[in-house]
Amino acid sequence: MISAILALVALQSAVPPAELNEKTFGLVRSHASPTKQDLAFQGIDWKPSVFDGLVQAKREDKPMLMWMYFGDPRGRC
């Protein structure tokens, strides 16, 4: 938890390099790349459709968690 908070603080206070070149390439890569915590949601076996979720929910006798979002979580709104 503490390391996650420190990582977030570091991201929010990072200063961009003056320019992009071979020396600063790694700094931009580090800042723009998703962290392990950013990608934690991928640890869930999300199904791409209601139908696929229904099939599994019925088979395993479990409730469905439905994440509905205009477009997809990558853009639009």
Partner 1 sequence: MDDVSYKEHQDKTTFENRWLAGVMKNDIQQGIYVAASGGQFLGRANRGWPDPDPKEILQALRKSLSDYRALGAQRKLSANLDAAQDKLKWEQDAFKKPAKTLDLRISSRGYAFSGMSAFDQRHPMYFHVDRLWFKPSEWRKWLPQNLTVGSKTQVAGPAKTRIVLLSHMQAGSSAWWEEHIRGGQMSSQVTAVTGDQVSLRISATYDMKADSEWSLDTYQGNLLAFATYDKKKDEMVGFELAMLGTHTVGKMMSNLHVGNPTQRIGAFATINPAADADDRMIPQSWKWGYTLAWGRSQ
Among residues 34, 29, 6, the alpha carbon closest in space to that of 16 is found at: 29
**# chain residues binding partner 1, by CB under 8 A:** 46
Complex with partner 1: residue 6 or 54, whichever CB lies closer: 54
Q: With binding defined as CB under 8 A, does residue 71 bind partner 1?
A: yes
CA 63 to CA 56: how far, in whole Å?
Answer: 10
**Contact in structure between 27 and 17 (CB atoms under 8 Å):** yes
> Which residues of the shown chain bind partner 1 in the complex (CB under 8 A)?
8, 11-17, 19-22, 24-25, 28-29, 31-35, 38, 42, 48-51, 54-55, 57-58, 61-72, 74-76
